[in-house]
């Protein structure tokens, strides 16, 4: 099955963009996913092909029109009725690895990319659309968010990542951050890879990794740690530890 990404955008030339290289690019060539950017302007009805208008109630900027968005979404749904429709917006639910995993197991996604001040709210009432945010900051458009979402999904498609298990204990998959990684040289600027990782004792390595994943999550991301069911960081500041020797 091919994972199909439909992207409704004013800038179709931004796709596949960086997803045409490396892991995702190879997967695209191999037909593991397909990339169908759709120009939203094609659904405009006037001579100037306008898609936006001034905000009701006044204020700066322009807003994407619900009627144009509706036409664009209906077209996308005709193409791919089974794929969830997702709008990129800072007002949406924060994107999580859990949602990425669910989406990557499905037929694909249709992604609505905002521009200007965003979408006329009525599009979310008139159509079944999931609003997703990629973080608490403001981008100039939804395209970068769409690329982020797609990158996260594509790497999980069957056969895309080299070692089939290399996704399993990564950050967020277990509800924790990943343990720190090291590679050769063993000594760099006086810093030595933790002894346990060189011991060849797999049980010890596992135990060390689990302990570090937990400790680092508690220090760096108390929010994740709490959701994981852990007790809060006892240190007064919760400050990050110096990551030198263990
Ligand atoms: N006025 C809006 C921001 C508009 S930014 C507000 O304050 O909420 C223009 C477009 O960029 C948005 O419609 C959205 O598609 C995209 N965008 C900006 N920040 C984003 C984020 N954190 N996550 C996902 N999409 C974002």
Closest Cα partner for 4 from 191, 133, 153, 208?
153
| Window from 39-43, 57-61, 195-199, 230-234 with minimum mean pLDDT | 230-234
63 lines ligand 1 (CB under 6 A): no
133 lines ligand 1 (CB under 6 A): yes
Closest Cα partner for 112 from 149, 79, 143, 139?
143
The pLDDT of residue 162 is 80
Closest Cα partner for 142 from 95, 107, 177?
95
Distance (angstroms) between ligand 1 centre and the Cα of 142 equals 6
185 lines ligand 1 (CB under 6 A): no
91 lines ligand 1 (CB under 6 A): yes
φ/ψ of 6, rounded to 5, equals -105, 130
β-strand partners of 119: 64
Residue 245, pLDDT > 70, answer no
Q: Please count the CA atoms within 13 angstroms of the CA of 205 that sit on its side-chain side.
A: 10
φ/ψ of 5, rounded to 5, equals -105, 115
Residue 63, pLDDT > 80, answer yes
The pLDDT of residue 109 is 99
Angle between helices 97-104 and 142-154 (to 10 degrees): 70
| Window from 51-55, 117-121, 130-134, 230-234 with minimum mean pLDDT | 230-234
Closest Cα partner for 19 from 92, 86, 109?
109
How far is residue 152's CA from residue 156's CA, in Å, rounded to a whole number? 7
Residue 233 binned pLDDT confidence (cut-offs 50, 70, 90)? confident
9 lines ligand 1 (CB under 6 A): no
Residue 54, pLDDT > 60, answer yes
Mean pLDDT, the chain, integer: 94
| Most ligand 1 atoms within 8 A of CB, residue of 145, 146, 149 to mutate | 145
How far is residue 208's CA from residue 233's CA, in Å, rounded to a whole number? 19
């Amino acid at each position: 099955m091919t994972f199909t990404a439909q992207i409704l955008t004013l800038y179709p030339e931004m796709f596949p963009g960086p997803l045409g290289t490396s892991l995702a690019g190879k997967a695209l060539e191999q037909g593991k996913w397909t990339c169908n950017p759709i120009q939203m302007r094609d659904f405009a009805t006037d001579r100037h092909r306008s898609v936006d208008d001034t905000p009701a109630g006044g204020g700066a900027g322009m807003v994407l029109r619900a009627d144009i968005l509706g036409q664009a979404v209906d077209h996308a749904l005709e193409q791919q009725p089974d794929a969830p429709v997702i709008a990129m917006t800072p007002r949406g639910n924060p994107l999580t690895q859990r949602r990425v995993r669910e989406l990557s197991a499905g037929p694909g996604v249709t992604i609505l990319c905002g521009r200007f001040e965003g979408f006329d709210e009525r599009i979310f009432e008139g159509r079944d659309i999931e609003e997703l945010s990629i973080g608490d900051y403001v981008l100039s458009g939804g395209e970068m968010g769409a690329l982020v979402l797609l990158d996260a999904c594509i790497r999980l498609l069957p056969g895309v990542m080299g070692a089939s298990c290399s996704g399993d204990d990564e950050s967020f998959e277990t509800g924790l951050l990943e343990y720190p990684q090291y590679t050769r040289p063993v000594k760099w600027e006086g810093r030595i890879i933790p002894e346990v990782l060189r011991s060849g004792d797999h049980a010890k390595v596992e135990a060390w990794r689990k302990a570090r994943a937990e400790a680092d999550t508690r220090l760096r991301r108390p929010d994740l740690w709490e959701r994981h069911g852990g007790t809060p960081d006892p240190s007064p500041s919760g400050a990050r530890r110096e990551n030198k020797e263990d």
